[in-house]
Structure formats: structure tokens, C-alpha cells
Structure 1
Amino acid sequence: MTMRINGAEISEAAIFAEMQYHPAATVAEAQRLASEALAVKELLAQEALSRGFGDGAEAIDALLAAAVPLAMPSDAACRSFYESQADRFRSNDLIEGEHILIAADPEDEEARAAAKLKAEGLLAQIQADPSRFADLAREHSDCPSKANGGNLGQITRGATVPEFETYLFSLEEGELCPVPVPSRYGFHIARLRHRAKGRTLPFEHVREQIADYLSEQTWRQDVSRFIAALAAAADLDGVELGSQEGSAAGPIANQA
């Protein structure tokens, strides 16, 4: 498993040591990724030395700064990206929800069954008289929100557990979920009180973020091409470096 890059040997021990930084589904895949990473580093180190930048990580940084300068995209390119990816720049929906939690240990099947049965009974009462939601929450809910009649306040996606959130965010304003919602905590009776739709952020607010993103993407592609050119001109023994765009940049771009 020893490699040679333009005659410079990279030992099997070095490859095994590098594998810890490249977790993969199989040992063979981790070895391949580690070998590529070390080969790329050696190629860049050799090129840095040949161009008079010396050796070490700083030399590789100096080489890339000189050979692959970071370019900022034009305003037109940023605006084009903004218009084609509008959903990326939309603020989150904000909702106000309420629930009644009947708690049950997820590992206790008997308790889960009893909690579900109780939740179904409470749900039927609320369906018959929606005005009873708050009173039933205060009396039966196992969540601290019971003090507020089950009101959870304003929440965005990610603020609650996914299994509960999926149901709550799918409801219309004023709609009561027709079934108890199971979660790791038990069963929820859920109702959506209010929804405020997110809005698209103005271009001026995200222009710098877009420019940084596009610049980084372009730099990574340029680094890939630079490394591919070095690999094409090199004498590689024991390793193959993919020539497709983006295949070689990863090992070094993540560190630069």
C-alpha cells in the first residue's frame, strides 16, 4: 500500500494514520480517501517547494493564494443566483400552536396504549366543544404549557420534536389535528392558532452572503483544476487521482 509521488514515498503507516480523518463505510474506502488526501498534499508541497514557497502548511497556503486567487463574483452573478434560489432566502414561517400532552414512556407499551386511549377521549371532547381546549389542557396536560391552557407561544421549525412538528405545521389556522399525535414523549392533542408566513429577504440583506458562497464554490473548482493539472503531469505510483472536477479539491480545500 506504499505510494510514490514523483518518487517521494508515502508509507503504509502514514496512510493508516491518515485514515482516522476519513471515516467511510468500509476500510477500503477509508484507505482510498486517505491515500488521495496524502497524495494531494504531497503534490502541493512539491509544487510549493519548486516555486520557492518553502515547505510546510504555510507554503501550501501561499502556493494556493498565488496560483488560485480568490475572486469575488459580480453583482449580476449574485443577483442571478438570488433570483434562481429565492427559497433559500425566505425567512421561516412563524406559528402559534397549542397542545395537550399525555405523557408515556416510549419503551412502555402498556403506558403508551393507555395514553393514546386517554388522548383520544380528550380529543373527542374538544371536537364536540372546541372552547374546552384550554380547560382540558390545564386539567390533563403533562407539559408546563398547561399553565397557559396548552399555548406553546410562537415557534419556528426545529423548535419542537420533528414528529410533533410535522403535524402541527401542516394544520390550517384554527384547525385541530383529527388524531392524537405520537411522539417520544407520549401523545399530543394539537391545534394551530395562528400562522405568519415567512417572507423573502431583500437582495441587499443577503448579497454579501451570496458573494461569499459563490466565491468559495468557484475557488474550490479552480483548486480542483489546479490539482488535476499537477496530477496529470506527475509520476504517481500506488494511487489514482480522479480527474473529474471537484474530486481532488476536498482533501486540501477543507483545510486551506
Structure 2
Amino acid sequence: MVETAAAVATVNGMAITDAMIDAQAKRMGSQPGMSELDPAMLREAATDALINHTVLVQQAEKLGFESRPEIKSQIQTRRDGILANALLKEQLATVSFSDAEVQAEYEKHFNTKEQEYKARHILVEAEESAKELITQLDAGGDFAALAKEKSTGPTGANGGDLGWVSPSQMVEPFGNALKAMETGKYSSTPVKTQFGWHVILLEESRDVTPPSLEQVKPQLTELMKRNALKAYLEDLRTKADVKMN
């Protein structure tokens, strides 16, 4: 029990301190509408809320709620969560990275030039339908017009226009087919994906300039922190006696 001399109020001998009120006021101040209260009113509301909370807790203890199995389970779960999160937070505070480590992480993700492709496609359900479209294109058919008429995909109404895309955005083998095509050419054989059969037209391609290190440094360091915590957890699991029943 906190010394009552340091208390702003007591409830059946249980102290409510300045620190407790400040923390409660901070929580309440973040709630909609409460942030508009002046500090004195917010502090008064926080004190009142703590008194109410303490009265309820004391009554629950008096009635033996802690011995109820479902309550004990909830308390244990909350306790375990608080401990685990506190450990991870403390571990995270010890994690830091040198400039060289951040640079290495940057190069790992942005060490190669990528390309984007401006493409159209016509999506149909059957391979034979796709082959027939290629025959029509070979005879001088207009790709966009055929896409509007025949494509079952959502881009059909726009002449099959996909805009600028990277292969990694597309399902396979669509992405690989794009990379292998010549600019201005359409696929000579249908490309099958989980959505059906595609005829693809590659209109243009361009190099993608990667973002600078400074642009992505916050995201990279966050990723590195997550990976460090993952490694820490994996190390703990390796050392633990884990048995699956």
C-alpha cells in the first residue's frame, strides 16, 4: 500500500497519488470530447474516476471474485501479456544499428534496378479463345478494341489498360511474361494464371529509380528492429524446453 502521506485521497486506506491521477488524466484526455476540458476539470474527473474504480475493485475483492476460475484466468492472461510486452519493450530499447548496418540493409532491398512496364491485357476463360484473339491481332486487329469487346477482366472497359506496373505486382507467370516481352509486341502464346488466359501487350518500359536511403531509413530501421526482436524470441525458444503434446 502506498503511504497515505503521499496520497491526494484514500479509499478505505488505499492511496490515490498524484502520479496515479496524472496517468488517469492523460488516458482520459485522449478520449473524444475530454481533451477540451481545462486541466483542473480533467484532473477532478480523473480523481473521481479513480475513486470509483478503487471502490469497485475493493468490493469485488471482498466478494471473492479473484477466486472465480474465469476471473483467475483473465487475470493470468493480462499479467502474462503485461510481462511479455514489458520484456519486449525493454529489449527493443537496447537495439541500435550503426550507419553501416543500415546502409547494408538498404542495399539488400534496393541493390538492383527495377523496371516498370506499361501494358494492356485481354483476359478470357478458355485457351482457345485467347488463341483466336492472337490470330485476330496477327491479322491486324486493334488490341484495345478487342479488349473492350472480349476481355472478362475489370480493365476491359479501358481497353485492357493496366497502366504502369512492376512484375512483382502481378501474379505469375504474368510478371515473368512481361519481363520477357519486346516493347510494342503482344504475347504470341496465351499466358495462363489463376484468373484465366491472358493476351498481353507491352507498350513501354522504364527504369525505376529507387528511393534514397534517407527516404526509407525510418521504414528500414523499423524492419530491422522487428527482425531483431524476432531473432531474440527465436533464441529464447531454442533455449526453452518446449514439448508438443
TM-score by length of 2: 0.51
Q: In the alignment, is residue 202 of structure 1 matched against residue 212 of structure 2? A: yes
Change (3 A) 1:118 1:214: closer
> 1:202 deviation in Å?
0.4
**Structure 1 pair 212/188, CA: closer, same or farther in 2 (3 Å)?**
closer
Residue in structure 1 matching 2:180, options 170, 177, 197: 170
Identity %: 25
- Structure 1 residues 146-155 or 184-193, which shifts more? 146-155
Flag structure 2 segments of 5+ consecutive residues without an equivalent: 1-78
The count of aligned residue pairs is 165
Deviation readout 1:77-115 (Å, 9 max, x if unpaired): 2123323x143797x64322112233x3xxxxxxx3xxx
1:174 maps to amino acid: G
Quote the residue 2:13 is aligned against: none
Q: How does 1:87-236 map to 2 (within 5 A)?
A: 87=110, 93-102=115-124, 104=125, 112=126, 116-129=127-140, 132-157=142-167, 159-221=169-231
Given the superposition, is the C-alpha separation of residues 64 and 121 from structure 1 closer, same or farther in structure 2, using an over 3 Å criterion? closer
**In 1: Cα distance, 2:163 partner to 2:151 partner:** 16
Contact map agreement 2:184 2:202 (CA 8 A) in 1? yes
Higher relative contact order (CA 8 A, sep 6+): 1
Q: Which residue of 1 aligns with 2:41?
A: none
Partners of 1:68 and 1:223 within 8 A in 2: no
User: Do the aligned partners of 2:88 and 2:229 also contact (CA within 8 Å) in 1?
Assistant: no
Which stretch shows the higher mean deviation, 164-173 or 55-64?
55-64
| 1:93-142 alpha-carbon deviations (Å, 9 max, x no partner) | 4322112233x3xxxxxxx3xxx33322321231243x632333334333
TM-score by length of 1: 0.49
Structure 1: where are the runs of 5+ without partners?
1-54, 105-111, 232-238, 242-256
Distance 1:154 1:60, change over 3 A: closer
Q: Distance in 2 between matches of 1:228 and 1:138?
A: 57
Give the distance between the partners of 1:138 and 1:66, measured in 2 at CA: 58
What is the CA RMSD across the aligned residues, in angstroms? 3.6
